[in-house]
């Protein structure tokens, strides 16, 4: 199974998958509305709006999660409204998912098990706003913890490498 075959739901409840992103670089981020890292929505939106990246097919995908400190307690409708009104989020958002534990969504099982760093492969997602960079072939080529801001040189360098 590839990353593109995993069933998902959009934040509006539409059943989908990542098939429409096949052949495109994507940044997958677990998000939360009541977290100290929540202002990263601004940087994620800036990455999504970057003309060079967009022209190369790059996109950002947000996956709300309530796994850490109950920092995403709202309904999907509340999450969508918060993201749109507070941070003007236009990048695709999905239904709330579990990123770890017994209820871990298959997408996050895939991302964690296919992470490039050997020491990271067995570790769960550590906190909100952890980022996974997926290349055009659907391979997880980068994993960045919450402290790595969307505008960090480390992340931007990795994104640029996927645009080629």
Asked if residue 161 has pLDDT above 70, the reply is yes
Given the residues 6, 35, 56, 98, the one annotated as active site: 35
User: In angstroms, rounded to a whole number, what is the distance separating the alpha carbons of residues 36 and 56?
Assistant: 31
The string of pLDDT tens digits covering residues 100-136 is: 999 999 999 999 999 886 555 557 899 999 999 999 9
pTM (whole model) above 0.85: yes
* 35 part of the active site: yes
| Domain 3-163 top-level CATH class | alpha beta
Q: List the chain domain ranges.
A: 3-163
Q: In which region does residue 149 sit, left (phi positive, over 0), alpha (psi from -120 to 50) or beta (all else)?
A: beta
């Amino acid at each position: 199974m590839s990353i593109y075959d995993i069933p998902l739901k959009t934040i509006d409840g539409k059943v989908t998958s990542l098939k429409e992103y096949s052949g495109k670089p994507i940044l997958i981020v677990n998000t939360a509305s009541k977290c100290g890292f929540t202002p990263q929505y601004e940087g994620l939106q800036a990455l999504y709006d970057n003309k060079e990246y967009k022209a190369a097919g790059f996109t950002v995908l947000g996956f709300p999660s309530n796994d850490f400190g109950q920092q995403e307690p709202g309904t999907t409708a509340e999450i969508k409204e918060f993201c749109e009104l507070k941070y003007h989020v236009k990048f695709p958002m999905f239904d709330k998912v579990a990123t770890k534990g017994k209820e871990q969504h298959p997408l996050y099982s895939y991302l964690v098990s296919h992470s490039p760093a050997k020491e990271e492969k067995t570790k769960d997602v550590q906190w909100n706003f952890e980022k996974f960079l997926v290349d055009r072939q659907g391979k997880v080529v980068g994993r960045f913890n919450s402290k790595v801001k969307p505008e960090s040189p480390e992340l931007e360098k990795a994104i640029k490498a996927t645009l080629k």
